[in-house]
Amino acid sequence: MNTSTWLIRREFWENRAIWVIPAVFGALLILAALFGQVSIPKLTSPAEMHEAAGAFQVIVGAMFYVVMSVYATWYLLDCLYADRRDRSILFWKSLPLSDARTVLIKLLVAMILIPLVYFVAADATALIAAFILSIRAKASLGSALWQADVWWDIQVLWLYCVVVTAIWYLPIAGWLMLVSAWAKRAVMLWSVLPPLVAYIFERVFFGTHVIGHTLARRLMGLPMVAFNGAKHVWTQGSGVVDNDGLPVRVWNLINPSGFFTSAETWIGAAVGIVLIVGAIQLRMRRSEI
């Protein structure tokens, strides 16, 4: 195994929460499927069954995505701070490991590997929960939750989400890592305070909202850039059909060409790269608190 593989293993040794949290969360959802109240209207048409299967998997996936976002944020804030706090950074720095590699591996873990762990956990949870629900509500549900094409769609959707999330939130990740490499204490506070102060400053002295709008757009704008008018499609009357009355497939939902050609995507990514370079530079200079 090479150095990078060892650095990745080290992250999983240190942060067992990477897999413990999704495992526990999945177990809770499965318990809910086992003992919770199930009231599902009888599904008759294929379109309704399609909708039920799709909605079920999307809801499970979305819940995992939310938990993942919270955890990945915490991970990024902590990853260059924890070993400075307990001084173990001096042990890591006594080994021939470059700071650039260390920082980039942590970024890779946060933006790609943690989401993939949650993806697998969400998949496993959805399968087990669907199995349980199908048995418990046999009369009304039947085989509704078992739609191969829906399952494949969800896989594509998840992988697409992992990729666009990693690129879109790169500036946020870069900022969190910069704070993590810089702060002497209270990383959480330092991550929020400067943008907040900048926002208030701009509002009071210039009466404009450029910073606020930019930040809000970055935090909440991903669905608008990476997906086709999702709202329009999902509120159709009977079942999940698109404007032409065809069942919605993932291909109609995602908008990779829009996302990857958007200037917003790449300006954000460039800002992210600058912040990450900053975090590496700080990592080289700050070894202790």
Which residues contribute to the site for other proteins (CB under 8 A)? Answer: 1, 3, 5-7, 9-10, 13-14, 83, 86-91, 93-99, 284-285, 287
Phi, psi of 247 (to 5 degrees): -60, 140
Q: Which is nearer to other proteins, 87 or 213 (CB)?
A: 87
Q: Based on CB atoms, which residue is closest to other proteins, 91 or 266?
A: 91
Q: How far is the CB of 1 from other proteins (least distance, A)?
A: 6
Minimum distance from residue 286 beta carbon to other proteins (Å):
9
Separation between Cα atoms, residue 282 and residue 99, nearest integer Å = 9
Nearer to other proteins, 94 or 235 (CB): 94
Cα gap 236→247, rounded to integer Å: 11
Distance CA 271, CA 224 (A): 20
What's the farthest any 2 CA atoms get from each other in the chain? 66
Distance CA 223, CA 259 (A): 10
Determine phi and psi for 95, rounding to 5 degrees. Answer: -105, 155
Q: Which two structure tokens, joined as six digits, stand for 97?
A: 């490991």
Least distance CB 79 / other proteins (angstroms): 13
**CA trace torsion 115, 24, 177, 221 (10° rounding):** 50
> What span, in angstroms and rounded, lies between the C-alpha atoms of 212 and 183?
23
Q: Tokens at residue 214, please?
A: 């930019």
Beta carbon nearer to other proteins, 249 or 286? 286
Residue 118 Cβ vs other proteins, minimum distance, rounded to whole Å: 22
Looking at this protein, which amino acid is placed at residue 158?
A: W
* Closer residue to other proteins, CB minimum distance, 82 or 230: 82
Task: Please state the closest distance from residue 175 (CB atom) to other proteins, in A.
Answer: 24
**Nearer CB in complex with other proteins: 105/121:** 105
d(CA 38, CA 61): 19
Q: In the Cβ-directed half-sphere of 13, how many Cα atoms lie within 13 Å?
A: 6
Min dist. Cβ of residue 16 to other proteins (A):
8
Q: What is the rounded CA–CA span in Å between residue 24 and residue 31?
A: 10
Is 86 or 149 the residue whose CB approaches other proteins more closely? 86
| Closest approach of other proteins to the CB of residue 31, in Å | 29
